[in-house]
A and B are shown apart, each in its own frame.
Chain A
């Protein structure tokens, strides 16, 4: 399984999509963290390194989320289309081991992408003489990476059986629903009937990605961290990952 995970990770990292998006992400980080920009948030000019750090982390979270979806989209369908599956399965690798490994490989590639953005932030922390920010921002990134890992796993699992575009749309929907979880939760509480029931099902299937982001933010600001949403998202990630044990295509 390690060979498969390693190979998937290597393929994703060597992919063009990864390089293009990673380059754009790092360029944005450079623009944001070098300060003296005209960035306005909530009507206020954001300047100064300390103010830029949360903005840079937000961008990292957002770009990494999208990249997690893009990176994970094609891995499994490509394996079936190229029929690389044949040469793997004849070597006694079980379908579940195969799907699990490909999914974990995707997750690691997503994590790597997030950490590579973070590295540019570390460089700026050092360059601006703020090494004290390295540890809190690292912890913040680790918590935020749970969201990317979840998105990657969800897209990978959907792509086992569904076409690539369905997996892509599902990934974006999960991301949006996860980020708007709190808002949808409140709307579902106030709504009634079929709409409320549908919203409840959607909420049940989607982790509260915004709450995870909030905990990451709490680490940065020194506010108390609630492990609840983080654990709940990890559990959902675990369950999604477990689906790789039972899902496979009829024809390989």
Chain B
């Protein structure tokens, strides 16, 4: 009995010390391991996916709790979050472009919030109470990191091109009106047709895609944009610029994401990206997919299209159209 108090106290001290030591480590080892795995793709695999693509060239701020851990040049620095958001994005700060990603555990939760709340509550609860819940896979996390690295690359290399496209959609109300128009059954049907055509082209047999089918896809895309312009009462050029801008920014990034999964030999995940093309999406998400699909087609139609992209001022759809000429 006399020994109880000192032993109990000792247990408390040891536990407190253990918690202190593990919390001082700050960034969980898992996140660093994933960052390093992403960097190992710079052995040439990232360059193949997109020329000049790199993760280590940019400081990566990994947000966990109310802090972000900036990993750069072999060092980890803790600081207060610069942006008050939990998001995957890039931002310029102190003459550098920063990549911001939440930590893996936060991404798991975010994924569960999005999937759980939009799916059934039963699925969400079963997932939370099970020991192997629906967590983001490592390759998916690395792919997302590379997606953001692509945005950093765009920001540093395509500033002019982005500005030019953005000028075409200067009116901030355009985006809302385009999204409103998506409730129109005729427009929805066109988007569905467009998604179906692109999916078939992308998953068709290896080799050159059928030129007629490509032309039909380009026609359908143009018709869709024209219909949106007509029904939403927006200038046709603005609608086109809007699509071009998001396909360029997000489509190429989604393409990098999918190709990273393939570079990590996660064919199941890559298959999921391909399969996602089949389902029609609305809002900005449709451009992520159509942009990615066009990039995949361009890979087969014109091996040098990425260089053209850096050099010229064309959109992804413009490049695709050019390959048929």
Do chains A and B directly touch (beta carbons under 8 Å) in the complex?
yes
User: Could you tell me which residues of chain B, from 61 to 77, have a CB within 8 Å of some CB in chain A?
Assistant: 65-66
A166 within 8 Å of B (CB atoms): no
Contact in complex: A189, B65 (CB < 8 Å): yes
B204 within 8 Å of A (CB atoms): no
B306 within 8 Å of A (CB atoms): no
How far does the alpha carbon of A228 sit from the alpha carbon of B128 in the complex, in Å? 20
**Chain B 6-34 near chain A by CB (<8 Å), digits 1 or 0:** 00000110011011001101001110010
Using A190-B86, A226-B30, A231-B22 as known contacts, say yes or no to A185 and B65 having CB atoms under 8 A apart. Answer: yes
User: Could you tell me which residues of chain B, from 81 to 110, have a CB within 8 Å of some CB in chain A?
Assistant: 85-86, 102, 105-106, 108-110
How far does the alpha carbon of A179 sit from the alpha carbon of B116 in the complex, in Å? 14
Q: Which of B12, B22, B128, B131 contacts A57 (CB 8 A)?
A: B131
B45 within 8 Å of A (CB atoms): no
Q: Which of A179, A183, A238 contacts B129 (CB 8 A)?
A: A179
Closest residue of B by beta carbon distance from A42: B134
Residues of chain A within 8 A (CB-CB) of B108 are 182
Residues of chain A within 8 A (CB-CB) of B304 are none
A213 within 8 Å of B (CB atoms): yes
B130 within 8 Å of A (CB atoms): yes
**Chain A 49-89 near chain B by CB (<8 Å), digits 1 or 0:** 00000110110011000000000000000000000000000
Total A-B Cβ pairs within 8 A: 93
Q: Which of A62, A182, A221 contacts B132 (CB 8 A)?
A: A221
**Chain B 132-166 near chain A by CB (<8 Å), digits 1 or 0:** 11110000000000000000000000000000000
Q: Which of B19, B28, B113, B134 contacts A187 (CB 8 A)?
A: B113
Closest residue of A by beta carbon distance from B28: A226
**Chain A 166-207 near chain B by CB (<8 Å), digits 1 or 0:** 000000000000011011011101100000000000000000
A222 within 8 Å of B (CB atoms): no
Contact in complex: B128, A180 (CB < 8 Å): yes
Contact in complex: A210, B23 (CB < 8 Å): no
B290 within 8 Å of A (CB atoms): no
Residues of chain B within 8 A (CB-CB) of A162 are none
B112 within 8 Å of A (CB atoms): yes
How far does the alpha carbon of A207 sit from the alpha carbon of B153 in the complex, in Å? 40
Using A227-B22, A228-B22 as known contacts, say yes or no to A238 and B12 having CB atoms under 8 A apart. Answer: yes
Closest residue of A by beta carbon distance from B25: A228
Using A182-B109, A224-B29, A231-B18 as known contacts, say yes or no to A217 and B12 having CB atoms under 8 A apart. Answer: no
**Chain B 287-310 near chain A by CB (<8 Å), digits 1 or 0:** 000000000000000000000000
Contact in complex: B18, A227 (CB < 8 Å): yes
Contact in complex: A185, B130 (CB < 8 Å): no
How far does the alpha carbon of A144 sit from the alpha carbon of B131 in the complex, in Å? 9
A211 within 8 Å of B (CB atoms): yes
Contact in complex: B15, A186 (CB < 8 Å): no
Closest residue of B by beta carbon distance from A228: B22
A235 within 8 Å of B (CB atoms): yes
How far does the alpha carbon of A234 sit from the alpha carbon of B19 in the complex, in Å? 9
Contact in complex: B131, A234 (CB < 8 Å): no
Contact in complex: B85, A213 (CB < 8 Å): no
Closest residue of B by beta carbon distance from A208: B105
How far does the alpha carbon of A186 sit from the alpha carbon of B129 in the complex, in Å? 18
How far does the alpha carbon of A29 sit from the alpha carbon of B49 in the complex, in Å? 47
Q: Which of B19, B30, B130, B134 contacts A55 (CB 8 A)?
A: B130
Contact in complex: B29, A189 (CB < 8 Å): no
A7 within 8 Å of B (CB atoms): no
Interchain residue pairs with CB less than 8 A apart (8): A42-B123, A61-B131, A182-B109, A183-B113, A183-B128, A186-B113, A227-B18, A228-B23
Given contacts A213-B131, A235-B15, 5 further A-B contacts (CB under 8 A): A58-B131, A58-B132, A210-B128, A224-B29, A224-B33
Q: Which 3 A-B pairs have the closest CB atoms?
A: A228-B22, A58-B130, A182-B109
